[in-house]
Structure 1
């Protein structure tokens, strides 16, 4: 082992030990203080919001420095304003969600009481991404606080300025036993993933999510994975194609296309394909009179992501795809200096191209034609389930068939990210796009253990019949119960519609 490697290992060991010590202190405080009441939970949520709101300008500047170009308006809307309604909904409902659910109410008269109590898990670890480095750690942290937990956050090293600001600011609002913020590179993230949390929440790519899940499995730590994927869009045969193209093009440009719910590829009826592309092109051109000097045009977060997106487009072009760059006249794009990539429309792709299989995460839109709706549905179903599936068109039988016959984390019709508008709606993926959900009560449930508590004041034991010796009466009773159960099941089968066997 080289001296450099040994030094790096020593640093990683010290960081791992420090994080482990913090986790232990948080768990000890959790056990000592017990499950917090609604007042403490709301106070922690309020302090978390104060951390963000008191330092909003500093966070805006930090993210602009991290991205190179990212407008203040974009950061305010996506990082702060966009999460307020969800957190406010959580805060206002936490007392209701904390209540136990009563079971077997009639049996209470006889002395048998049963209920399910939501109880905190303990210490929750949160690993944040770089595309929305503030929103996507604050929102799950607020939900974990609502459920009564302590929280440790690992910020993304890609957005280092934001991470350092969060680390330096958090102690002004929280004791370390309530909230701790960790910074560092991949080796720190790997060590963080291997800690024995009571729950681990990760937002990022499926490939890194798999590594996080493997590390967590060593300690049997349950995980929630909020991942990405290639989100499909279907423009219905009877859709307003120009309105659809405008909205889809606008949605693709949010955060420079670096959003896990961005439309990735679009199916358009073959006879309306040219009209769609013409409108998308005109929309993109109208949005950006200039790009290189435009503060509203978000840069790729770093050179690695810039090169990756450019590489996907170059590979498609080299293998026969039609590539159209919607760049302002006189501007040479992509531009490595500003890490800006012009809006790009790609057609005529096939499955041998990288862009057909990798999430783009940039300002590039793939457009495909279809003759029959079933073609689009079959194509979507042959690929990993996306985080969101989009439909542009009326709410009719075709739309219902699309929802029924596809699989995705959510479905949005006629607008970008519409599935995230209701504050109470669960947000999460399925299959390769993730597991578990948060936002609203779904998040409270994710960070809670629903504990069944049953007590009996009956003069006899309900379950005593399961203990030997049994004797002939018990055997006869079991036989009668089996006959009744079988007869009931036969009646149900005969009354139901026959199902063909495979």
Structure 2
């Protein structure tokens, strides 16, 4: 029996945990700002106290995963967002006053953010720690209890998180679930007050379907094929080197990685040459290189290799940037050489499937209108990249395309501001978090109105209808009708 199996067998049934959390939430009522910040602090302490163990667990799950990369992306990358959330909890909890002038005559109206109750979070495997801790911190800020289902693809990280959580939280505050795909399906079907999922669009559809049986609202953080446009007046050397580097973060297994690039036709050979030189300089060796991330498992390794081979068989030009003397792809280390693919058409799987590996597709263009048409003909990506000046062409691209976010001249620049909402649109996601968007995602904004007026306003809608009600209704409708006609020029 593995440690994962032993942990799974010790776990209480998930419906019982959910009911215990819900009962505790109901008994205690909405937590104040001090308790919310305390829960965020304990969550952050769970990570920071044990970051070395988490890094080791993730390296073991992937096979090879750079320690520095894990520390930067998984742990350091979440701190500023969590600190921003923590520092604004009291401010975001305040109610919004409406109709302030009416208070003088006894009518008080406000909108108060209230916790939903129990939030379920289903995490992915590509960033198995960061992408459960960040939404959990937002859920705590909003005053909720949290249940987390860790990814079964990274079992050592999942087991570690489940083992450590009880030292920092009572199970009625935070509970971590491990287990296989069936466990994940059962988790998604629980009657949470909100369900948050990060993963692929295909699995996201299954999660939404499971949640719909209980009318559970969902936030879906998905992915997609992120386009990159190298503008005609871009600094080609800087653009090509940054795009190449970005494609290799976490072995390309990042939902915001550049997936395919449009380069002006007359500059494409120069662009590809710079990308190739950049990759050679980054990775003089790959198989034994501890800074080169493996595909997370055999299935993803074979899927990425299959995408490339399908494109090659159908006529694409494939350029694998492998060090001299190394045979790649290597099924033992699950490492795939950085690969540049040109001549991709719609008959190839690489044209539609999110690559999630160290593969960059390069297209050419002569008219920016053609690029916009190509991007718009496909599902909206999580992020669209532009390399070049902030000018009319860039602004036109932003205005005419649809994506979760836009970044110019740098990888994931749309995620730099801690207050900026993060999320997709269409097939790349539903809802957003980070900053106040996360607080709002896990809150219900409830309107509370009280009247001390000596007469009723809305009660006049009840029969019998007197003369004053009939006259007021007729006059109001006449004024509204005339005003609307004037605005329309009639």
TM-score range, shorter chain: over 0.9
2:416 to 414, 417, 421: 421
Say whether the 8 Å CA contact 1:224–1:434 is kept in structure 2. yes
Aligned runs of 1:371-382 on 2, under 5 Å? Answer: 371-382=366-377
Pair 1:81 & 2:76 matched = yes
Say whether the 8 Å CA contact 2:251–2:292 is kept in structure 1. yes
- Alignment match, 1:452: 447
- Alignment match, 2:194: 199
Q: What does the per-residue CA deviation read over 1:460-483, in whole Å, with 9 as the maximum and x for residues that have no partner?
A: 001122111113442232121111
CA distance in 2 between partners of 1:476 and 1:462 (Å): 15
- Alignment match, 2:176: 181
How much has 1:15 moved relative to structure 2?
Answer: 9.6
Q: What does the per-residue CA deviation read over 1:47-66, in whole Å, with 9 as the maximum and x for residues that have no partner?
A: 11111111111101100100
CA distance in 1 between partners of 2:214 and 2:338 (Å): 45
Pair 1:92 & 2:87 matched = yes
Check 1:456–1:473 CA distance in 2 against 1; reply closer, same or farther (3 A cut).
closer
Say whether the 8 Å CA contact 1:16–1:192 is kept in structure 2. no
- Alignment match, 2:3: none
- Alignment match, 1:471: 466
- Alignment match, 1:128: 123
Say whether the 8 Å CA contact 1:200–1:221 is kept in structure 2. yes
Pair 1:402 & 2:397 matched = yes
Structure 1: gaps spanning 5 or more residues? 1-10, 496-502
Aligned runs of 1:162-241 on 2, under 5 Å? Answer: 162-241=157-236
- Alignment match, 2:237: 242
Pair 1:369 & 2:364 matched = yes
Aligned runs of 1:260-271 on 2, under 5 Å? Answer: 260-271=255-266
Which aligned runs of 4 or more in structure 1 are off by greater than 3 angstroms? 13-17
Q: Secondary structure at the match of 1:21?
A: helix
Q: What does the per-residue CA deviation read over 1:81-133, in whole Å, with 9 as the maximum and x for residues that have no partner?
A: 00000000000001100000000000011100000000000000000000000
Q: Secondary structure at the match of 1:494?
A: coil
Instruction: Please report the TM-score for the alignment, with normalisation by the length of structure 2.
Output: 0.97
Pair 1:46 & 2:41 matched = yes
How much has 1:494 moved relative to structure 2?
Answer: 1.9
CA distance in 1 between partners of 2:431 and 2:416 (Å): 19
How much has 1:237 moved relative to structure 2?
Answer: 1.1
Say whether the 8 Å CA contact 1:334–1:342 is kept in structure 2. yes
1:282 to 264, 277, 286: 277
Q: Secondary structure at the match of 2:19?
A: helix
Aligned runs of 1:325-336 on 2, under 5 Å? Answer: 325-336=320-331
Instruction: Please report the TM-score for the alignment, with normalisation by the length of structure 1.
Output: 0.95
Aligned runs of 1:9-88 on 2, under 5 Å? Answer: 18-88=13-83
Pair 1:307 & 2:307 matched = no
463-472 or 182-191: which moved more? 463-472
How much has 1:33 moved relative to structure 2?
Answer: 0.4
1:442 to 423, 432, 437: 437
- Alignment match, 2:101: 106
- Alignment match, 1:4: none
CA distance in 2 between partners of 1:473 and 1:35 (Å): 44
Aligned-residue Cα RMSD (Å) equals 1.4
Say whether the 8 Å CA contact 2:11–2:177 is kept in structure 1. no
How much has 1:17 moved relative to structure 2?
Answer: 7.5
Say whether the 8 Å CA contact 1:152–1:181 is kept in structure 2. yes
CA distance in 2 between partners of 1:199 and 1:369 (Å): 43
Pair 1:145 & 2:140 matched = yes
- Alignment match, 1:481: 476
CA distance in 1 between partners of 2:269 and 2:488 (Å): 53
CA distance in 2 between partners of 1:60 and 1:494 (Å): 66
Pair 1:490 & 2:485 matched = yes
Q: Secondary structure at the match of 2:450?
A: strand
Q: Secondary structure at the match of 1:153?
A: strand
CA distance in 2 between partners of 1:475 and 1:175 (Å): 60
CA distance in 2 between partners of 1:349 and 1:231 (Å): 15
CA distance in 1 between partners of 2:454 and 2:21 (Å): 43
